[in-house]
């Protein structure tokens, strides 16, 4: 059985969990991307192995609307080795098992929020991690319904697991901490990760547990539970606003150790020192 066909089928199992209005962004090696395009153009799954067709056929329309980013196969295989080396063999599912678990999750999950427009002035935050270049970064930029303040873009190199578990939550809390120490405090935050506000509430309501990583403790130390729970974290679609694209690009560049304008760079040690000073005040 062709491995690219299996990859497309596995991708379609994952698509079973997305909402009808979700924007799809697929990162794939060239051969997988080419196969997706050929299936979409043919409007048929006849070219696939017969056993895989039932997984792919229901999702052809969703695949046709997806944005596809092609990555070097070596980089993708490096990522797979990284994941497989740290994942127990029992965690890998057959397609049948995976689709059953997705169906159970969809049936049991609570109602999901709808994406918001950027209205109230606030920080648009994003996170990026590069396994290939061994880097991670958060970025944030001020924006409102009137547009984006491009000069406000800030980006910071951060550690990875175990210091950070939920990167988007780290991005929001880094933006909040930066806003407080620079007198640019905001109540509104925008992120392209739908569950960020739920993770924030869970983090606070469960007593800021260590399982969320060590960085969040430093970023939130001087702030009360009430202050953090009052933050208005809203989900926005990825890539549909200039502010989100600016944050995404900045975080991606720094996670790959690429150059960005020096005035955009925030030093993590400096930020944690300033946050610590707030605690001592």
pLDDT tens, residue by residue, 13-62: 888 877 766 667 788 888 888 999 999 999 899 989 888 898 899 888 88
Q: What pLDDT, on a 0 to 100 scale, did the predictor assign at position 237?
A: 83
pTM of the predicted model as reported, rounded to 2 decimal places: 0.65
Beta-bridged to residue 188, according to DSSP, are: 122, 232
| 8 Å CB contact between 244 and 236 | yes
Q: Among 124-128, 142-146, 161-165, 196-200, which stretch is predicted with the lowest mean pLDDT?
A: 161-165
What are the phi and psi torsion angles at 273 (to 5°)? -65, -45
Q: What is the mean pLDDT of residues 127-143?
A: 92
Q: What pLDDT, on a 0 to 100 scale, did the predictor assign at position 138?
A: 97
Closest CA to 275 of 208, 222, 238: 222
Q: Where in the chain is the domain with CATH 3.30.420?
A: 122-280
- Between β-strands 147-148 and 25-29, what pairing exists: parallel, antiparallel or unpaired? unpaired
Show the tokens assigned to 241. Answer: 């606003």
pLDDT bucket at 262, cuts 50 / 70 / 90: very high
Average pLDDT, the chain: 86
pLDDT (tens digit per residue) in 81-99: 665 566 666 666 677 777 7
Q: Report the 10 Å Cβ neighbour count for 20.
A: 5
Q: Which residue has the higher pLDDT, 14 or 187?
A: 187
Q: What pLDDT, on a 0 to 100 scale, did the predictor assign at position 12?
A: 87
Q: Report the 10 Å Cβ neighbour count for 24.
A: 16
CA distance 161 to 151: 30
| 8 Å CB contact between 8 and 54 | no
Q: Which residue has the higher pLDDT, 142 or 280?
A: 142
Cis peptide leading into 113, omega within 30 of 0? no
Taking only Cα atoms into account, the Rg of the chain, rounded to an integer number of angstroms, comes to 20
Residue found under tokens 């007593």: 207
- CATH number for the region 122-280 comes to 3.30.420
To the nearest 10°, report the CA torsion of 80, 83, 88, 94.
-50
Q: What pLDDT, on a 0 to 100 scale, did the predictor assign at position 139?
A: 97
| 8 Å CB contact between 202 and 254 | no
Alpha helices (H) in 86-241, listed in sequence order:
95-108, 167-181, 196-205, 214-220, 225-229
Q: What is the mean pLDDT of residues 255-269?
A: 94
Q: What pLDDT, on a 0 to 100 scale, did the predictor assign at position 68?
A: 85
- Cβ density class 242-269: b for 16+ within 10 Å, e for less: ebbbbbbbbbbbbbeeeebeeebebebe
Percent of the chain at pLDDT > 90 equals 49
Number of H helices, E strands in the chain: 12, 8
What are the CA-CA distances from residue 119 to residues 46, 68, 112, 141, 147 (Å)? 46, 29, 20, 14, 9
């Amino acid at each position: 059985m062709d491995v690219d066909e299996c990859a497309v089928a596995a991708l379609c199992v994952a698509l079973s969990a997305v909402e009808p209005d979700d924007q799809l962004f697929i990162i794939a090696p060239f051969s997988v991307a080419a196969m997706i395009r050929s299936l979409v153009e043919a409007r048929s799954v006849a070219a696939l192995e017969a056993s895989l067709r039932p997984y792919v056929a229901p999702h052809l329309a969703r695949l046709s609307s997806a944005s596809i980013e092609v990555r070097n196969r070596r980089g993708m295989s490096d990522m797979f080795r990284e994941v497989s080396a740290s994942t127990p063999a029992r965690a890998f599912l057959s397609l049948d098992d995976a689709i059953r678990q997705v169906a159970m999750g969809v049936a049991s999950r609570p109602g999901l929020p709808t994406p918001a427009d950027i209205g109230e002035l606030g920080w648009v935050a994003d996170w990026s991690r590069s396994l290939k270049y061994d880097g991670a970064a958060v970025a944030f930029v001020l924006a409102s319904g009137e547009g984006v303040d491009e000069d406000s873009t800030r980006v910071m190199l951060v550690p990875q697991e175990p210091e950070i578990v939920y990167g988007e939550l780290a991005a929001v809390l880094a933006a909040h901490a930066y806003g407080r120490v620079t007198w640019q405090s905001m109540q509104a935050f925008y992120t392209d990760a739908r569950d960020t506000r739920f993770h924030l509430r869970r983090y606070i309501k469960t007593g800021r547990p260590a399982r969320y990583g060590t960085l969040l403790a430093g970023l939130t130390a001087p702030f009360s539970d009430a202050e953090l729970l009052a933050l208005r974290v809203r989900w926005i679609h990825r890539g549909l606003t200039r502010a989100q694209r600016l944050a995404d690009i900045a975080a991606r560049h720094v996670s790959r150790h690429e150059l960005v304008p020096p005035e955009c760079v925030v030093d993590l040690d400096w930020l944690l020192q300033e946050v610590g000073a707030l605690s001592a005040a």
